[in-house]
Amino acid sequence: MPEKGSEETSNLKDTSVVKEEIDRFSALAEQWWDPKGPMAPLHAMNPVRTEWVKKNFISKKNIASELPTLLDIGCGAGLASESFARLGFETLGVDASEEAIKAAQAHLKSSPLPSSAAPLSYMAGQAEHLVEDKRNFDVVCALEIIEHVRDPQEFLKLLAQLTKPGGQVVISTLSRTVRSFLVAKLGAEYLLRLLPIGTHDWKKFIKPAELDQMSRQVGLQLTHINGLSYRPPHWRVSHDLSINYIALFKRN
């Protein structure tokens, strides 16, 4: 009988997880919380993303739980997860990288959230594991992750299954355009070295219309969409969807 670890690794090919992608981000785990390190773009983008989710979140009176529950899938070392807890979401951060989750837990332990924050917990795992456990949430966030999964359509199906009826799914990703190739791939990785080379595969970028079409097939209705535009030194919400964008869907 194979050891548990080897069995899990052999099954990765049958899930949304791409082992090479997990290995790449696992190698960065110890640098994740360095605002000047390889995750600097995420540090800069994080406040804009999380505040946008809070702004467009359905009223608490429309959900059953006292605190809205939020799943941050592909949470890495917890940049967005901690922000969501501070904003009042009872948050579970999940990532397939055990190293990233250890970094998230270590940061939370060394820099505890204020007493006003909502509960925050982490687990190493995959969306499939949560579906098997019949978990669901008021909000499911997949930020900068869908462009790294094996099958975006199947991944969206998992996200829908993890969302309570009437709940919301938030996706942020990159559009497959000439501009995104020049700016987010060549510029960010090769010219400015804002990201490690190989972080993104431009062919896996998803245009907003494609994301909308795939989401409709799994019972998700697009309700809000905005661009996330970088104007040094800050990110801002915009109407430009040609590079980074963030979209909110309601589960039917």
Residues annotated in the binding site, as ranges? 49, 74, 95, 143
Q: Give the annotated binding-site residues for S-adenosyl-L-methionine.
A: 49, 74, 95, 143
Q: Any idea what DSSP says for residue 58?
A: P
Is there a contact between 115 and 89 (Cβ–Cβ < 8 Å)?
no
Burial of 3 (0-12, 13-18, 19+ CB in 10 A): exposed
Structure tokens at 163: 């969302």
Q: Any idea what DSSP says for residue 239?
A: S
CB atoms within 10 A of CB 244: 25
| Enclosing H/E stretch for 51 | helix 40-56
| Enclosing H/E stretch for 126 | none
Q: List, as one string, the DSSP characters of 137-205.
A: EEEEEEES-GGGSS-HHHHHHHHHHTEEEEEEEEEEEE--SHHHIIIIIIIIIIIS-SS-TTS--GGG-
CB atoms within 10 A of CB 203: 8
Rg (CA), the chain: 17
Give the start-end residues of each E strand in the chain: 69-73, 90-95, 120-124, 137-143, 163-174, 220-231, 234-238, 244-251
